[in-house]
């Protein structure tokens, strides 16, 4: 195993999940589906749905406040605030600016990272790079997603998969052996149309046709995404282990992006990672895009499953396509 010293570490995490639980049974009365189909094909049993007035920035701010409090850092001590989201409250300005205003991070530079489900890992990497230039000491990486506002509630092939929630991580320069030891990232824009929102941006602004066609909602070619997700997440896991100098046995706990239990199990199988080492909560939250990994880490900490000294593998895949993995010593 490698003895490389990490440059930055995750000091603390936080999460926020809206109270309202939507079960598969609830969905049976919205679209033509069954609890049995959803559980068998995805492993999802329920997800959280934010009320209409609750914004992604609000959820992100709640998660951020917890991470700050646990690290003993005040909001005005944050130098950089990165928000990862596929569901910004507005297209202009960045949601990071909204989170900044909500938590009072008045000294921070704030901007968004759009990496879809891989956004938290991309955000951590931006934090690592920024801190390594010496421009700041403390970064907050917030991943917040109100997926319920962009899924088509008339499309059973997508609306059953997603959920709302937020996670946050406070990152600062590492002073010991804890921290990010290795990363692998990749993207492939040629495959964008397998998972995207065709309209609602500057190319096709919302008009009557868009509203009629419902093309401002998420469209996904599920099988194609599934195949690419497994291959990319497994390869990225293997690649980051190699770069870090870890064997599969050196990994204590895996935090995969939580989209579908079958994707998680197939990824683990291809990468040679035993499922006992894989953290799973997709059954309770569905796919919260980039928020899944920080929410899972925060839960694992609270459950006592994530312990000091553990070697972690984070791995994600999402729209773009984007994917990546990270080796972290906790």
Question: Given 24, 235, 260, 287, which residue is catalytic?
Answer: 287
Residue among 87, 183, 260, 290 that touches ligand UT7 (CB under 6 A): 260
Strand partners, 110: 81
Please, which residues have CB within 8 angstroms of residue 114's CB and are 6 or more apart in sequence?
84, 85, 86
Strand partners, 111: 82
CA dihedral 28, 213, 317, 307 (to 10 degrees): -50
In the stretch 197-226, what mask flags binding to ligand UT7 with x, by CB under 6 A? -------------------------xx-xx
> Cα(290)–Cα(123) distance, rounded to whole angstroms?
10
- Closer CB to ligand UT7, residue 89 or residue 145? 145
Min separation Cβ 65 and ligand UT7, Å: 27
- Closer CB to ligand UT7, residue 244 or residue 292? 292
Min separation Cβ 75 and ligand UT7, Å: 31
Sign of the alpha-carbon torsion through 241, 166, 289, 275: positive
Pairing outcome for strands 80-84 and 138-146: parallel
Min separation Cβ 195 and ligand UT7, Å: 6
Min separation Cβ 241 and ligand UT7, Å: 22
Residues between 132 and 161 that touch ligand UT7 (CB under 6 A): 156-157, 160
For the sheet with 322-329, list strands across it. Answer: 179-187, 322-329, 311-318, 253-256
> Cα(242)–Cα(222) distance, rounded to whole angstroms?
30
Q: How far is CA 166 from CA 139, 178, 200, 223, 298, in A?
A: 17, 24, 23, 27, 11
Q: Identify whether 117 is a catalytic site residue.
A: yes
- Closer CB to ligand UT7, residue 188 or residue 242? 188
Question: Given 24, 97, 117, 184, which residue is catalytic?
Answer: 117
Contact indicator for 35, 24 with CB cutoff of 8 Å = yes
Min separation Cβ 303 and ligand UT7, Å: 24
- Closer CB to ligand UT7, residue 82 or residue 195? 195
The window from 81-89, 237-245, 256-264, 275-283 that contacts ligand UT7 (CB under 6 A) reads: 256-264
Closest CA to 291 of 281, 302, 276, 305: 281
Residue among 259, 297, 312, 326 that touches ligand UT7 (CB under 6 A): 259
- Residue whose beta carbon is closest to ligand UT7: 222
Closest CA to 89 of 52, 122, 62, 63: 52
Min separation Cβ 142 and ligand UT7, Å: 19
Interface with ligand UT7: number of residues (CB under 6 A): 21
Catalytic residues: 117, 257, 287
Residues near ligand UT7, by CB under 6 A: 33, 37, 41-42, 117, 156-157, 160, 195, 222-223, 225-226, 229, 257, 259-260, 263, 287, 317-318
């Amino acid at each position: 195993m490698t003895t490389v010293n990490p440059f930055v570490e995750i000091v603390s995490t936080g999460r926020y999940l809206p109270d309202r639980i939507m079960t598969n049974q609830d969905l049976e009365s919205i679209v033509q589906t069954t609890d049995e189909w959803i559980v068998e094909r995805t492993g999802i049993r329920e997800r959280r749905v934010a009320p209409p007035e609750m914004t992604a920035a609000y959820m992100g701010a709640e998660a951020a406040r917890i991470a700050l409090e646990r690290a003993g850092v005040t909001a005005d001590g944050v130098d950089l605030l990165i928000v990862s989201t596929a569901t910004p409250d507005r297209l202009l300005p960045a949601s990071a600016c909204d989170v900044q205003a909500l938590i009072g991070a008045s000294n921070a530079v704030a901007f968004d990272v759009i990496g879809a489900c891989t956004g938290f890992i991309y955000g951590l990497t931006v934090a690592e790079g920024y801190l390594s230039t010496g421009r700041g000491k403390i970064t907050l990486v917030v991943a917040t997603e109100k997926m319920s506002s962009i899924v088509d509630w008339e499309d059973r092939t997508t609306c059953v998969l997603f959920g709302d929630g937020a996670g946050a991580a406070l990152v600062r320069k590492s002073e010991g052996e804890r921290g990010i030891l290795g990363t692998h990232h990749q993207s492939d824009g040629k495959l964008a149309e397998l998972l995207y929102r065709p309209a609602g941006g500057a190319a096709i602004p919302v008009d009557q046709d868009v509203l009629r066609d419902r093309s401002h909602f998420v469209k996904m070619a599920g099988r194609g995404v599934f195949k690419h997700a497994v291959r990319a997440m497994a390869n990225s896991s293997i690649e980051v282990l190699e770069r870090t100098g870890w064997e599969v046995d050196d990994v204590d706990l895996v935090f995969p992006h939580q989209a579908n239990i079958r994707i998680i199990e197939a990824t683990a199988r291809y990468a040679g990672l035993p499922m006992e080492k894989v953290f799973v909560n997709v059954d309770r939250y569905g796919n919260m895009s980039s928020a899944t990994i920080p929410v899972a880490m925060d839960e694992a900490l609270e459950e006592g499953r994530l312990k000091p000294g553990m070697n972690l593998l984070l791995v994600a895949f999402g729209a773009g396509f984007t994917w990546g993995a990270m080796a972290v010593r906790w």
